Amino acid sequence: MAMAKRKTSDDDGDVPIAMAKRSANHTNSPLQLTRKNLALLNTLNGDAEDSDYDSAYLFEEDDDSDTMKKISTTNSSFERRVYENGILDPVASHPPQDLDNIQHCLTQRRTSTQPSEGAHQRYCNKVFKSDNEAEVSSLIQSKIMKEYNDMQYGKAVSRAITRIPSQDFNNGLSNPLPDILEGLDTAVLPNGLHDDHALHKKNSLSFCHFAAEIKRTDGNLHQATVQAAYDGAVLVDARERSLSQARANLSNHVAIDKAADEAAVFTCVTDGTVAEVYMHNSKDGQYHQNLVARKSLLSYPNLGRELIRNTQDFARSKSYELANLLGADLKEEEEEEDVVVVKAKKAVGEAKGWALSFWPF
């Protein structure tokens, strides 16, 4: 069911509908789009096991009057509904106060070694020969994005975020389905944090601050940007709910207020040739999406690769920070790879008045 998002269409026909065997005297019309009929399809296909691609983002209830009103992220009316719900595009968005510092930080050169020029050329060749989005996604994950050794920090690939409350910003919209989502493994958190902060029903991630939307090289990057705006709004809302809980339950209000003033959620939009990183925040009931940087993934040295990895590192530090504000007491596991140069880390941290330990790189 995760592939439903990947089809582009101008109407609701892009949603796969469960079809079942009919008896000879039964109508040939398709079954209604419900969880029960999806389960029937799985049974007929010999796949009765519970899949984590739960499709709950399409099948919220078996009541068609509610379900069929949900607009998928590939529907032609999705963009209009997103903006009606108060999720602004980069042109209409107001930049947060720390945007300049974030731009400076995330575009710094990394001290880690770049892949060889030959390896980079092989990546470029494979990207241009890719036939579909799945191939581009595989290349981005294996050659561009950072893969963490941290056992406490995880990644979800094309999994719907199903555990979000109904609010104005997601009114009438299906649940988001980011191509990549990174966050803390809910299982490593204290039990008291599971119910309120998990984003999935099982094998869940929590305190997520980074998501990515990926298209094929001739795909619709504008559509990916709109999808990323929705992803970002969902993660900003989750972060704000977590901070509200921390403020109600804990006494460290200075640290909580400081965290609340920061824009800490990021998304990446890419087609394998270029990387665009956005930061997300909310203000006055609206959700804002501001471009941090746009870098090529085809030039050498590959600055787009460094931009994505810097963003991943920064978002990861925010996941740990937020979890610990709620009493998780987790230590960010060290990575073998060195990252952004120390002098840049020091300059930005001092300019912002933060301790150097604030920066993950």
pLDDT for 229-242, tens place per residue? 999 999 999 999 99
Angle (CA) 194-161-33 rounded to 5° is 125
- Which has the higher per-residue pLDDT, 348 or 74? 74
Q: Which residues contact 215 (CB under 8 A, 6 or more apart)?
A: 133, 136, 221, 223, 224, 269, 270, 271
DSSP summary character for residue 6 = G
217 in a structural domain = yes
- Distances in Å between the Cα of 52 and the Cα atoms of 49, 158, 204, 214 are 10, 10, 10, 20
Q: Is 230 in contact with 218 (CB distance < 8 Å)?
A: no
Domain count, the chain: 1
166 in a structural domain = yes
341 in a structural domain = yes
4 in a structural domain = no
78 in a structural domain = no
- Distances in Å between the Cα of 5 and the Cα atoms of 118, 151, 174, 247 are 34, 29, 10, 37
Backbone φ and ψ of 250, nearest 5°: -120, 165
60 in a structural domain = no
pLDDT-based confidence at residue 27 (cuts at 50, 70, 90): very low
Instruction: Provide the pLDDT for residue 254.
Output: 87
265 in a structural domain = yes
The answer, yes or no, to whether residue 347 has pLDDT greater than 80, is: no
237 in a structural domain = yes
Q: Is 234 in contact with 170 (CB distance < 8 Å)?
A: yes
Q: How far apart are CA 315 and CA 333, in angstroms?
A: 14
Instruction: Provide the pLDDT for residue 106.
Output: 97
Predicted model pTM: 0.77
The answer, yes or no, to whether residue 135 has pLDDT greater than 90, is: yes
Host domain of residue 182: 99-358
- Which has the higher per-residue pLDDT, 234 or 352? 234
